[in-house]
Amino acid sequence: MGDLETILRLVAEGHLTPDEAAPIIDALTAAPPSGGGPPPAPTPPPSTNARPARHVRIRVTEKGRQVVNLRIPLAFADMAARMVPGLSGEQSDQIRAAIDAGVSGPILDVEDPDGDGVLITVE
């Protein structure tokens, strides 16, 4: 199990709050590979035709109260969506298709009458 998957599981199980998990996820996804070598060369500024970095935000509510609010790199979206409880295979396919198509904005917004819901947005 990968480090990011472990963090997401801990949030889903309630062992970490989304606020506690956010800096850990940022560190895991931004950390350069360890090796003790020289620091990496500075990255040149992006060209005008480069796509900006993209993220997926996953918000889960229970009884109208937000219990998860994660912003993760797009590369981990598929794994994170599989960890959201209650998503059907069709909804997971919808998320993957929207991400593959380059959609921005809300791609899944589900809420039941009890106030339980999931909102997944590409930012």
Q: What is the pLDDT of residues 96-116, one digit of tens each?
A: 888 888 888 898 888 888 888
Higher pLDDT residue, 20 or 55? 55
Please spell the DSSP secondary structure of 48-73, one letter per residue: TTSPPP-EEEEEEEETTEEEEEEEEE
Average pLDDT of the segment spanning 39-49? 44
- 117/37: higher pLDDT: 117
State the average pLDDT for the chain. Answer: 75
Proportion of the chain in helix, strand, coil states, percent, rounded to 5: 35, 25, 40
pTM of the model: 0.57
Q: Would you list the domain boundaries of the chain?
A: 55-122
Cα separation, 94 vs 76, in Å, equals 16
Q: Which of 53, 66, 58 is nearest to 8 (CA)?
A: 58
* Residue range 46-98, pLDDT digits in tens: 433 345 548 888 888 888 899 888 888 888 877 777 777 777 888 888 888 88
pLDDT on residue 45: 45
Name residue, tokens 């931004």: 30
